[in-house]
Amino acid sequence: MEILDLRHFSSHDLRPLLEEESRVWADRLSWDYSSSAEMVLRYLDSKILPGYAAVERGQIFGYSFFVYEGNKGVIGDLFVANGSRLSAPHEVEAQLLTHVIETLQQSPGIHRVEAQLLVQEAGVISQPFLQQGFSRHPRIFMTLPLPANLSPAELAPEIEIRPWAETYYQSAAAVITAAYRGHVDSTINDQYRTLSGALRFLNNIVRFPGCGVFDAPSSWVAVHRFTRHLIGVALCSRVRHDVGHMTQVCVLPEFRSRGIGEALLAASAENLRARNFSAVTLTVTEANHRAVELYRRMGFQPGRIFEAFVWEG
Ligand SMILES: CC(C)(COP(=O)(O)OP(=O)(O)OC[C@H]1O[C@@H](n2cnc3c(N)ncnc32)[C@H](O)[C@@H]1OP(=O)(O)O)[C@@H](O)C(=O)NCCC(=O)NCCS
């Protein structure tokens, strides 16, 4: 087995592996990975996708890629075919990750590396990260089957839940920045720490496909009627024809514990139910106990535990 630069290959070489990966995403996360796979293949053919391939007799059976975002490297994906020849899959995963991590840590100007690998079960791929000085943050994948039995408490009359609109862009970024100040999730994702970062996050979620396709009708905001200020946001993307995934839920600290988070989530779930979706999913950091508790109470069922890793050099 050899580990080679991904840029030596074309979409023709990687397509069979991505087809297998799409089946794994569908089984484990109810996620239609095909549009993400097509995007990876397009980047591969443009020879602009940095990463590594595990190759045996000319055939790719594992790969990992990363992207540069300013002075940060983000590990985009890691996948090794299950029935891979010769080597144990987890050993190949470790070798690919070691190459990716070393490349990123040695890249001039890169001071931070983030990774969230959803299809890998917690513990399985931790070693190469921990050996290179990364911190580890367990996260939970949760699913709410629809229709769900939701009964959110009535909100105070000055709070209104409204459908998402593009005009909320700037104020949503401000809510995200304030909601995640000092929060474990801004350790995991540094975009939450600044207004410009939160705008980049929103841009990725709302305007680019990748984390599913943004679904405006199931995305909601909470607005204070008198001040007209935005105080909470719930954003949802379609990750399968009948599955929504909450990409963001947050409420300003001074408005918490008044049922706004629950009302936003219930509005998303209700819209998806009315459109015959079968489930809504989300991911939450295990240490974010209040959010985990809220989701459990609403009927979200905990599924796979995966890990986020962060390195700051
Ligand atoms: C998670 C988060 C969105 C929850 O929002 P919220 O508006 O506080 O949530 P809710 O008020 O609906 O429910 C949470 C609490 O309010 C209580 N509550 C619900 N309705 C209520 C009402 N009408 N009156 C008083 N309390 C109420 C709930 O029992 C729950 O109890 P707790 O305060 O002891 O935890 C919010 O804490 C947040 O923005 N956190 C930071 C960002 C984050 O972690 N997002 C989730 C990432 S996965």
**Domains of the chain listed by start with CATH number:** 2-133 (3.40.630.30), 143-303 (3.40.630.30)
262 CB near ligand 1 (under 6 Å): yes
Which of 62, 76, 72, 176 lies closest to 116 in space, CA to CA? 76
Neighbours of 103 (CB within 10 A): 17
**Ligand 1 atom closest to Cα of 290?**
35
Structure tokens at 62: 């594992």
Give me ligand 1 centre to Cα 99, in Å. 41
Query: pLDDT tens, 33-74?
Result: 998 999 999 999 999 999 999 999 889 999 999 999 999 999
284 CB near ligand 1 (under 6 Å): yes
Confidence check: pLDDT of 234 > 90: yes
153: DSSP letter: P
146: DSSP letter: S
pLDDT at residue number 85: 57
pLDDT at residue number 264: 98
| Amino acid at site 18 | L
Tell me the β-bridge partners of 210: 212
Mutating to test ligand 1, I would choose from 141, 154, 246, 262 the residue with most ligand atoms within 8 A of its C-beta, which is 262
pTM above 0.85, yes or no: yes
pLDDT at residue number 87: 64
Confidence check: pLDDT of 303 > 60: yes
Give me ligand 1 centre to Cα 197, in Å. 24
159 CB near ligand 1 (under 6 Å): no
Distance CA 103, CA 173 (A): 32
Which of 206, 139, 142, 144 lies closest to 176 in space, CA to CA? 206
259 CB near ligand 1 (under 6 Å): yes
Q: 203-207, 213-217, 269-273: which has the minimum mean pLDDT?
A: 203-207
Percent of the chain, pLDDT > 90?
A: 91
Taking each helix axis as running N to C, give the angle between helix 289-298 and helix 260-274, from 0 to 180 degrees, rounded to the nearest 10: 40
Percent of the chain, pLDDT > 70?
A: 98
pLDDT at residue number 209: 73
